[in-house]
Amino acid sequence: MGFMKSASVLQSDTRERAELVHQRAYRAMTGEERYRLGVEMSDNARDIALEGLRQKYPAHSQKALMLVFLERVMGWRLPQPVRDAQRK
């Protein structure tokens, strides 16, 4: 068995155990707790994406960064006049 095959066997086993622990933790949560966790995860993902954009475009204003975020992460494309106004 090669390195990749043995590593995937270990990963598969670890993932299975981790998934069981994960499922138990979610089942123990109330609906409100799961909702709050989802909102927190979404906020964290957005913050990480915006920080990456800040590093890539340090001269951009916060509004311009949000525009880039919407275009790149959300797949939205605003009309050109709106885009031009935001980047000034």
pLDDT on residue 43: 95
pLDDT at residue 83 greater than cutoff 90: no
Please list the alpha-helical segments (H only) found in 1-88.
3-28, 31-56, 62-72, 80-86
Read off the pLDDT of residues 31-76 as tens digits, 9 standing for 90 and up. 999 999 999 999 999 999 999 999 999 999 998 888 889 888 778 7
pLDDT on residue 1: 43
CB of 86 within 8 A of CB of 63? yes
| Terminal Cα distance for the chain, rounded | 59
84 or 63, which is more confident: 63
Burial of 27 (0-12, 13-18, 19+ CB in 10 A): exposed
How does residue 4 score in pLDDT terms, banded at 50, 70 and 90?
very low
CB of 58 within 8 A of CB of 51? no
